[in-house]
Amino acid sequence: MHGIDLDIARADFVALMGPSGSGKTTLLNLIGGLDTPTGGSITVDGRRIDRLSGGELARWRAANVGFVFQFYNLLPVLSAQRNVELPLLLTSLGAAERRRRAAIALALVGLADRARHKPKELSGGQEQRVAIARAIVSDPTLLVCDEPTGDLDRATAHEIMLLLQLLNRQHGKTIVMVTHDPKAAEYAQRSLHLDKGTLAPADEAPR
């Protein structure tokens, strides 16, 4: 990537598009604090996260960022409720409060009645909803989503994108999403195209 300068406002919903190998996931990981830059700076909500130590960065991620991936990354031996609770194990919350917050998150994604089901008992769309509930259970300000509809059929992908749009519009979550799917990108407030290290609005990208 060549001197990318990117500003994302609070409660924005940005889709990052571009060919494979263009650096989309790397950029997403830098924004979410999973990777550290070799140069430049990354400021999130007024804080230079590129200056944080490993431990500080882990605590910052736990408090501020929710991650949604293409393949859900749910633990198969745990129920939906327990999967959603996992990020809260890094906090000082007691078991009852962890259960309460996980129940709220599952209700928000429409899966209150599936709390005791394990991943193998859920559809792909339901698994992704559990993953989104896990991402929001700690009430982060930022959601980073890497191909969240990449493993879903069109109808289910539409449902997941409506859910992300709801989290953005009604709950004020800032969302940065990598996607290859132009249909998914349409749910974002704006789309950016990354190719050969250059970032531009999607409607200005070369065809």
What CA–CA distance (Å, rounded) separates 22 from 12?
A: 22
pLDDT digits (tens, 9 = 90+) for 52-94: 888 888 888 888 999 998 888 899 999 999 999 999 988 888 9
pTM for the predicted model, two decimal places: 0.89
pLDDT tens, residue by residue, 110-165: 999 999 999 999 999 999 999 999 999 999 999 999 999 988 899 999 999 999 99
Cα–Cα dist 178/180, whole Å = 7
Alpha carbon of residue 115 to chain centroid: 21
Which domains can be identified in the chain, with CATH numbers?
A: 13-204 (3.40.50.300)
β-strands 190-195, 13-17 pairing? parallel
Q: Which of 138, 115, 111, 119 is nearest to 72 (CA)?
A: 119
pLDDT in tens, 164-198: 999 999 999 999 999 999 999 999 999 999 887 77
Residue pointed to by tokens 């993953």:
131
Find where tokens 């830098």 sit: 30
